[in-house]
Amino acid sequence: MGMKKSIKKCLFKISSGYTDLLYRRPYLDKEAKLRRSLEGELLHLDLVITECCSLKCRDCSNLMQYYQKPENLTSDEVINELKKLFSCLRVRELKVLGGEPFVNQKVLSDVLRFLTGDYSGYVDSINIITNGTILPSEDCLEAMISNPKTKVSFSNYGELSNRQDEFVELCKKNNIDYQVTDDSFYWLDFGRPIEYNESEEFVRRQYKNCYNRKNCNTLYRGRIYACPRQAHGIRLVLIPDSKDEFVDLFDPGYTDKDDLRRAIIGLVRRKEPVSACRYCLNCKYIHVKRGIQEKR
């Protein structure tokens, strides 16, 4: 075991709060100034193309384990919402995920090709987040190769990621950028999607320090949300659907593209917690093992 990994494992045995201060440093936001100054760009955006997943992780913070009848989005749905977004903003890092994005390979391929054509200048990088259980089809692999901005990020759930090694070899062979998550990394327990009676001070501090609301603003079914937990919690009717806490790209109330852009930037810079924060405990910093499976 390498020295760096050994140190991490020792740190993870310390109380959760100290561990995160030392390692994850939740109170440090290096991009805060940039986020406040950008008017025509988003630093990060999660693009959901499916609710389906090849795993059923008990502690998935995005709430995918609660879908009884998960659905794939269509190419038309996803590309139309991207076109609407790009009418007023560009994105530095677009993360494509689900669920498991390789469950919906036709749409993934179409999105990659769409972002290779006339809209290639609207994103700087495309990061596909996968659990390493499914290999890309020949067509999907070709789409990945054809878009040089593509990167594959493997979540690395050990034995559960049973096709990861093969997939990594495909990336190496075809010069596709990739990264594999350190297997000593841990998950934070966000808790079940129920309303917790935490103090207003806790909710505000949690929102201020939340990694997801800074790095995982989510585009899903035509709406932009503060985070994926909010997006899926609303879809599952587990979290309140408050109109002033997300941006509906197709809301006719936006008079023009500048009006829509201001609404999106306003959401990204929002200072007040959203309702979903009261259904979340991520800032309790409780560590859990990654990828514990529930019965299907």
- pLDDT at res. 14: 54
Cis peptide before 99 (omega within 30 of 0): yes
Task: Classify strands 150-154 and 123-130 as parallel, antiparallel or unpaired.
Answer: parallel
Asked whether 262 and 222 are in contact (CB, 8 A), the reply is no
**Range of the structural domain that residue 60 is part of:** 39-288
Give the mean pLDDT of the chain: 92
Instruction: Look at the pTM and tell me if it is higher than 0.85.
Output: yes
Q: Is the pLDDT of residue 15 over 70?
A: no
Residue 196 lies in a domain: yes
What percentage of the chain has pLDDT greater than the value 90? 79
Residue 243 lies in a domain: yes
Residue 168 lies in a domain: yes
Q: Is the pLDDT of residue 111 over 80?
A: yes
Residue 4 lies in a domain: no
Per-residue pLDDT, averaged over 218-244, amounts to 98
Residue 2 lies in a domain: no
Tokens read off for 192 = 């079940």
What percentage of the chain has pLDDT greater than the value 70? 90
Q: Is the pLDDT of residue 267 over 70?
A: yes
Residue 235 lies in a domain: yes
Residue 13: CB atoms within 10 A of its CB come to 8
Domain count, the chain: 1
Residue 293 lies in a domain: no
Q: Is the pLDDT of residue 58 over 60?
A: yes
* CATH of residue 166: 3.20.20.70
The helix or strand, by DSSP H or E, that contains position 145, with its residue range, turns out to be helix 138-146
- pLDDT at res. 6: 61
Per-residue pLDDT, averaged over 18-46, amounts to 72
What digits encode the pLDDT tens for the residues 160-207? 999 999 999 999 999 999 999 876 678 899 999 999 999 999 999 999
Residue 29 lies in a domain: no
E strands along the chain, which residues? 41-48, 90-97, 123-130, 150-154, 177-180, 187-188, 218-220, 223-225, 246-248, 287-288
